[in-house]
Amino acid sequence: MINQDDNKKQISSDLPETVNNICSNLNPIQHLENLDYPRLTGSDGEMKASKYIFDTLKSNGHEPEIQEFYFKKAKSLMNLLAPAALICWGLLSILNVIIFDNFILISIIILLLPVGIIFVILKFDVLMKFIFKNTRKKMSVIKEMIENDRINKEELTKSRNIIVNIGSKNSKNHLMFTAHYDSISLKLSMKTIKIFSMIGGGGLILYCLIYLINFITDLIFHINFIISWYFLILIILIISLVAFSTIFLARMFKTNESHGIIDDGTGVAILLELSKFLQVQVLQDYQITFCFFSGEELGLYGSGYYFSQKEHDKNKLQVISIDMIGEKSPITYIKGINPMKKILMEPNFNNNIKKIADILHIKIKDGFFLYPGSDFAHWLLNEYKTNWLINGSDFIHSKNDNIQNLNQKLVIDSLKLLVGYLIEFILNKS
C-alpha cells in the first residue's frame, strides 16, 4: 500500500541525472516497431504479439506465466437493440403529440428516457460493476465446461494473459502495472464518433426539453405548440437518432486494421522496459506484478479473467494502468471516474507522479474520465486502489493507430516518470 507519508517526501535533486542514465539503456520504441501490425483478439497477430512479449520477458531474465482463457464474443445483432429502441421511442413521442393528443401515460413513458439516462450516468459505476461481474461469472462457467469437456472450443474465442511477478508474494506491499496488447478497429474514427456523440447528445437534450415544456404547457394551458413546429422539431429528432444509431451500428463492424501502437502498444512497451529495469533491482518490501492482458478491446475480458482467478489483499495492492500513451500532449493522470459522482483514483500516486514530473520538467496534467475504460476497471469498481496514465488520441481504433502517428517523446517521458517514481517511492523504501 502506498504510504501517505510519501506526500511529505522531498525528491532527490540528482533524480533527473539518475533517470536519464537509466533510460539511456532502455528502448520502448524498439518494441513498438516489433509490434507494428494488427492484433485483434483471436487473430494470428494477437498470438504473434503474445509470443513476442513472452520471449522478451524471458530474455530479460523473467519467468513469465501464460494464463489462457476463453470467452464468447457478444453477438453483433445486440448492437441493433439500442438504435431500434431509440427509433421506436422517437416515433412514439411524435405520434403521441400529433395523433394521440399528448396522452398523459404515453408522455410520462416518453419522459422516462431522459430520467433514465441521468440515472444511468449517476449510477454508471454500479451498472458496469454488474456487467463485469456477470462477464466474469460467464467466463468461469465456460472454464468449468471446458474442463468437463461440455463445450466445443470452436464456438469460443481463445486468448491469453502474460504475467510476471518480481519480489516475494509475502511482501508488505504489492504494486501491479497493467497494459493490454490486443487492438481493434471500428468503421468510424474516434474524431467522427466524438462529433456524432455531440450532435446526437445535443439534439436529444434539446428535443427532450422541448417535449417536456410542450407536455407542461398542454397539461396546464392546453397549448400544444409542437404541432405548429413539428417539422422543425422532427428534423432535430431525426438528426439526433441518426447520429446515435450510426455510432451503435459502427460498433457492429469490428475489423483488424489498427496496429494498436497508441492503444495500447505503448503501455506494453513501457511495461517491458520497466520490468527489464526492475529485474536487476533488489526488492524487499514490495512485490511488483506486470500484467499484459488481451481481450480488452472486446470487453475487458483478460483483466476480468485474471481478477476472478487471483485473490489480492486490498490493503496491499495498488493497480496502475498504462493505456493509450503516445499522441496528444501532455501526459494525463486521471483523478477520478464519472465527473458527476467523482469516483476518485488513489491520490498519493497522483501527487507523487506530479512531483516526479516537476523535477524532471515533464508536462503533466490531471483529468476526469466518464467511465473506467481500461483494464484497472475490475479493481476500481471493487474498491481497490487504482491509477491511470493516459493521453487523448483521435487515431485509436483505426488504421491510423500505427508507428507513423506515434508521439515517441510522450512514450519516453512516460517511461522516465515511472522510472523516477519507482526509484523515489518504491526502491528507496525496499
DSSP line for 137-153: HHHHHHHHHHHTT-S-G
pLDDT at residue 318, rounded to an integer: 98
Average pLDDT over residues 199-211: 94
Answer whether residue 1 shows pLDDT above 60: no
pLDDT at residue 101, rounded to an integer: 84
CA distance 104 to 329: 51
pTM (predicted TM-score): 0.93
Fold of 4-63+136-186+261-429: Aminopeptidase (3.40.630)
pLDDT at residue 102, rounded to an integer: 84
pLDDT at residue 230, rounded to an integer: 84
Pick the more confident residue, 94 or 270: 270
Q: To which residue does cell 465456460 refer?
A: 142
- Domain residue spans of the chain: 4-63+136-186+261-429, 77-122+189-250
Beta pairing, strands 331-337 & 364-369: parallel
pLDDT at residue 430, rounded to an integer: 54
Pick the more confident residue, 429 or 218: 218
Average pLDDT over residues 68-93: 86
Q: 355 Cβ partners below 8 Å, 6+ apart?
A: 11
Pick the more confident residue, 149 or 430: 149
Cell of 100: 394521440
Pick the more confident residue, 370 or 149: 149
For 44-66, write each residue's pLDDT tens digit.
Answer: 999 999 999 999 999 999 999 99
* Residue 264 per-residue DSSP state: I
Average pLDDT over residues 211-232: 90
Average pLDDT over residues 124-136: 92
CA distance 172 to 76: 45
pLDDT band at 5 (very low <50, low <70, confident <90, very high): low
Answer whether residue 35 shows pLDDT above 90: yes
pLDDT band at 78 (very low <50, low <70, confident <90, very high): low
Give which of 60, 46, 6 is closest to 271, Cα–Cα: 60
pLDDT at residue 71, rounded to an integer: 95
Answer whether residue 403 shows pLDDT above 70: yes
Check if the beta carbon of residue 364 is closer than 8 Å to that of residue 333: yes
Q: Where are the alpha helices (DSSP H) in 222-324?
A: 230-250, 266-279, 301-309
Beta pairing, strands 65-71 & 157-166: antiparallel
pLDDT at residue 11, rounded to an integer: 82
pLDDT band at 38 (very low <50, low <70, confident <90, very high): very high
pLDDT at residue 6, rounded to an integer: 60
Answer whether residue 419 shows pLDDT above 70: yes
Check if the beta carbon of residue 304 is closer than 8 Å to that of residue 294: no
Average pLDDT taken over every residue of the chain:
92
